[in-house]
Amino acid sequence: MRRDPPDDGVANMAADAALLGWARAAGCGVVRVYAWAHPTVSFGRHETAAGRFTPASLAAAGVAAVRRPTGGRALLHHREVTYSVALPLDAASGWRPTYAALNARLVAALRALGVPATLAPAGERASPGGAAPAGVSQAGASPPLCFDAPAMGEVMVAGRKLVGSAVWREGDGYLQHGSILWHDDQARLAAAAAVPLPLPPPAATLAAHAPQLTPDHVADALVAALTGASPDIGVVDVRPFVPTPAYRAEEATWREAFAASSWLWRR
């Protein structure tokens, strides 16, 4: 099976953070495809969430919450296929070429499945709405939702955003993960908010553009597209995710960190 079993937000974000450490130590990349056990809103690393959302408003809407290790803005994880790629990246290299190369691979994998995906052209928002360079906050951005519009270089179909991706650059490591929507549940964020939020426009979905697919079809295509020798992203080898004892130990440490309310409501 190419996908990890569905898990909660803390476990999923801890796994991705641990993968970044693993990739940096191993000197090769790793790809993971996974799902979510419950509807969960994820906040970007530097995004302002306190005041916009509260534990009470989230509970009333039946939505869990987690803060990502990556940048970007709020999105609702539910009926989707989620991918993550962790890579070693030379400290002198910029993150944008890697982001562009990975998104191009996502497009190629989706098009091979019959999804008419394209990359948003230049002239859209200058900074990817689901991706932010390490250390740069998008706090206060309006509207505060990832899927309000495709940004330059993001994956879309017919002008609508299909994939919300977020990144984090840390020293000689790079993490990118993102949501490929099966159905559009993003409007549910408005019900989970403690203050009025603008509804995002309808997003593109796999259900609408490739109803013949299954999550396993998509997972297999993603893993095939993102693994192997990767000269375009400067990595000799990218492998499918296979947990090791050392990885499990680091993941447990990250679970404790991501479960802390001081991290979730840090902004």
- Which pLDDT score, from 0 to 100, does residue 123 have? 64
Query: Mean pLDDT over residues 114-138, rounded?
Result: 60
* 28 in active site: no
pLDDT tens by residue, 33-89 = 999 999 999 999 999 999 999 999 999 999 999 999 999 999 999 999 999 999 999
Where are the alpha helices (H) located in 27-165, listed in sequence order? 55-61, 96-112
Query: Which backbone phi and psi does 174 adopt, to 5 degrees?
Result: -140, 130
Instruction: Choose, from 19, 64, 146, 163, the residue flagged as catalytic.
Output: 146
Among the residue ranges 74-83, 104-113, 126-135, the one predicted with the least confidence is: 126-135
9-264, which class in CATH? alpha beta
